[in-house]
Amino acid sequence: MRKILKLFVYLWQLPQMLVGLLICNLIKDTQSFNATTKTGKVYHGKVYFADWFNSAVCLGKYIIVDKKLKGKDQLSETIKHELGHSVQSILLGWFYFIVVGIPSFVLNIISRIYKKNAQWYYSKFPENWANKLAEGIITVELK
């Protein structure tokens, strides 16, 4: 039964999972992490570091970040935020790119063009929703 549920969740997120899988197969620099929730559940994941990417993105279970964040204190908070987007992906399924991906991309471009600060960016939808969903994560431990 558990395998059937995992398959359903994967298929429900198929567009972003396929894009994430294709991109992450090109990235060799990775680091594992454990994220612990307030309920004590531990999520085991992997972050992919891209030297050609100047941001962070979540595509289903795949988290891709700028290689410059590797080893920085900010990395744990970035992973936490991207895990919020991962929950959005699970909730929205095939609608994730329309409801979250496109608005997030446009917001990112606007914040760069008009030199908006991070507080402005994270106060807008869908970033503020991702942060709200990530509040259930207490710690992100990098391995």
Tens of each residue's pLDDT in the chain, 143 residues: 899 999 999 999 999 999 999 999 999 999 999 999 999 999 999 999 999 999 999 999 999 999 999 999 999 999 999 999 999 999 999 999 999 999 999 999 999 999 999 999 999 999 999 999 999 999 999 99
Say how far apart CA 140 and CA 143 lie, in whole Å.
10
Place of tokens 């999972």: 17
The reported pLDDT for the residue numbered 102 is 97
Say how far apart CA 30 and CA 46 lie, in whole Å.
7
The reported pLDDT for the residue numbered 30 is 97
